[in-house]
């Protein structure tokens, strides 16, 4: 904390007053006395950077700037709260704030996932904190759980629904059979979606968050460039109905797991048994299951997006920094990625090297012997069939003589499954691309 700061107040510079910034201002103002009681000092917004200032702020003695860099240069600011999002100019802004000896609180998962290694090293050198609880799973304190609550555990795996917009869309499609573009528009209007909604529906936002979770779970550097990413844009209501018939739901999951071969780091639509608690996480809600060796499986559930929930985590980070500064404690006592020494002796696996069960939907021609041919291909590659659905033809495909054949397979290396799918697609009896969705059984039926 800067020299000018006293032990009675902490001075906040807020960059960005959109959904989360507005929620943060509201929370700091409406809970002022309770926060003061918790912290033992007042948290005061002294400088706001936004293109749409509220005239009332100047009356409250808040400096207002159009340029976010004015906040990073302001000697009266102790903590810069970065809520502008995106890679640039957020990276430059955060680096300048660190150089100027300011702590940083950010909700920017893209920034942390991609530039976090550089940012944390700069912060270490300057003895300041960069806190980012709000970057992952909105109001759920999952970073605190991984870094502090579970610090006695070796983490085996974690899996989560970590994009509220995708979960909202999948839930509306499954429960109300609504179409994708209409539900996406609604998620945007509710302030859940990213500025560029392809980040939500193509899995990029979830990949940013999973990169951060994996680093905290295993004590590895942030490796966004190594993550495997698939979004929800190709999921159909037909797949959802078939999955339901088989006792599964389709959820967009981030999964990371440490294995003898390396670390799995992947984001994709996934079939999970309807009996799992996480299969019943609906709407904009997020949930993360963490499997530790001592605590076992623990489940964290809550709102993953929205002004109030995300502001809850932003303000909690500010409170942590304020408390440490008030007591002259070393504010960076908890390492930014949970471990004081990160390991670099373990690789992130290519998706081809993971093993999974699979859901396959095959557009088969309605001919005698087609099932036998497909199952022969699977047998040739050592893939067992666990369940099959074959319906009477109906709809436009039926007029072309095409019927969907749905198969659940046993566990197999992805590389082998890719070859088997290519062979199936080359059969005369198959009329188009095979839809493949990974199935996750976890190793704990309760979560």
Binding site for ligand HSE (CB under 6 A): 138, 163-165, 192-194, 200, 205, 304-305
The least CB distance from residue 352 to ligand HSE, in Å, is: 28
Helix (H, G, I), strand (E, B) or coil at 294: coil
State the catalytic residue, choosing from 109, 144, 209, 251: 209
| Dist CA 70 CA 283 (whole Å) | 39
Helix (H, G, I), strand (E, B) or coil at 12: strand
The least CB distance from residue 272 to ligand HSE, in Å, is: 19
The least CB distance from residue 205 to ligand HSE, in Å, is: 5
The least CB distance from residue 200 to ligand HSE, in Å, is: 5
Burial of 191 (0-12, 13-18, 19+ CB in 10 A): middle
Q: Please, which residue, 83 or 193, has the CB nearer to ligand HSE?
A: 193
Q: Please, which residue, 213 or 360, has the CB nearer to ligand HSE?
A: 213
What DSSP letter does each residue of 267-282 carry, written as one string? EEEEEEETTSGGGG--
Q: Please, which residue, 109 or 361, has the CB nearer to ligand HSE?
A: 109
The least CB distance from residue 27 to ligand HSE, in Å, is: 16
Q: Please, which residue, 192 or 218, has the CB nearer to ligand HSE?
A: 192
Q: Please, which residue, 205 or 264, has the CB nearer to ligand HSE?
A: 205
And the tokens for 296?
């076992």
Q: Identify the helix (H) or strand (E) that includes residue 249.
A: strand 248-258
The least CB distance from residue 299 to ligand HSE, in Å, is: 18
Q: What is the DSSP letter of 25?
A: H
Max CA pair span of the chain: 83
Q: Please, which residue, 300 or 358, has the CB nearer to ligand HSE?
A: 300
Asked if 167 contacts 283 with a C-beta cutoff of 8 angstroms, the reply is yes
7 is known as an active-site residue: no
Cα 188 to Cα 182, 197, 294: the distances in Å are 10, 8, 40
And the tokens for 187?
């998620």
**Intra-chain end-to-end CA distance of the chain, in Å:** 42
Cα angle value 228/233/234 (rounded, 5°) = 90
* Residues carrying an active site annotation: 209
């Amino acid at each position: 904390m800067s020299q000018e700061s006293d032990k009675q107040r902490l001075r906040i510079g807020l960059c960005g007053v959109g959904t989360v910034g507005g929620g943060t201002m509201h929370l700091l103002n409406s809970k002022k006395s309770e926060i003061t009681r918790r912290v033992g000092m007042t948290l005061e917004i002294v400088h706001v950077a936004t293109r749409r200032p509220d005239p009332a702020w100047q009356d409250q003695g808040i400096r207002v700037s159009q340029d976010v860099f004015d906040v990073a240069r302001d000697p009266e600011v102790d903590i810069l709260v970065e809520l502008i999002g995106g890679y640039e100019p957020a990276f430059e802004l955060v680096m300048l704030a660190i150089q100027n000896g300011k702590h940083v609180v950010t909700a920017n998962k893209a920034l942390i996932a991609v530039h976090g290694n550089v940012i944390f090293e700069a912060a270490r050198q300057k003895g300041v904190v960069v806190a980012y609880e709000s970057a992952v799973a909105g109001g759920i304190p999952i970073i605190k759980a991984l870094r502090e609550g579970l610090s006695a555990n070796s983490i085996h795996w974690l899996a989560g629904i970590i994009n509220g917009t995708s979960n909202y869309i999948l839930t509306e499609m499954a429960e109300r059979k609504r179409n994708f573009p209409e539900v996406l528009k609604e998620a945007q209007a509710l302030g859940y979606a990213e500025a560029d909604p392809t980040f939500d529906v193509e899995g990029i936002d979830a990949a940013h968050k999973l990169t951060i979770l994996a680093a905290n779970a295993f004590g590895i550097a942030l490796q966004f460039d190594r993550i495997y990413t698939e979004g929800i844009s190709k999921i159909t209501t037909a797949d959802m109905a078939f999955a339901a018939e088989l006792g599964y739901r389709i959820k967009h999951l981030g999964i990371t797991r440490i294995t003898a071969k390396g670390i799995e780091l992947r984001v994709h639509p996934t079939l999970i048994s309807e009996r799992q608690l996480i299969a019943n996480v609906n709407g904009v809600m997020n949930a993360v299951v963490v499997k530790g060796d001592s605590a076992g499986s623990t489940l964290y559930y809550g709102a993953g997006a929205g002004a109030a929930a995300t502001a809850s985590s932003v303000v909690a980070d500010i409170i942590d920094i304020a408390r440490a500064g008030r007591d002259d404690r070393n504010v960076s006592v908890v390492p930014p990625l949970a471990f004081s020494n990160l390991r670099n002796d373990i690789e992130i696996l290519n998706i081809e090297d993971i093993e999974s069960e699979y859901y396959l939907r095959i557009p088969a021609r309605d001919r005698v012997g087609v099932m036998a041919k497909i199952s022969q291909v699977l047998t040739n590659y050592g893939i067992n069939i666990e369940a099959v659905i074959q319906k009477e033809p109906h709809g436009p495909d039926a007029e072309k003589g095409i019927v969907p054949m749905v198969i659940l397979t046993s566990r197999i290396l992805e590389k082998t499954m890719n070859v088997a799918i290519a062979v199936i697609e080359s059969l005369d009896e198959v009329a188009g691309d095979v839809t493949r969705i990974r199935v996750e059984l976890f190793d704990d039926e309760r979560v």
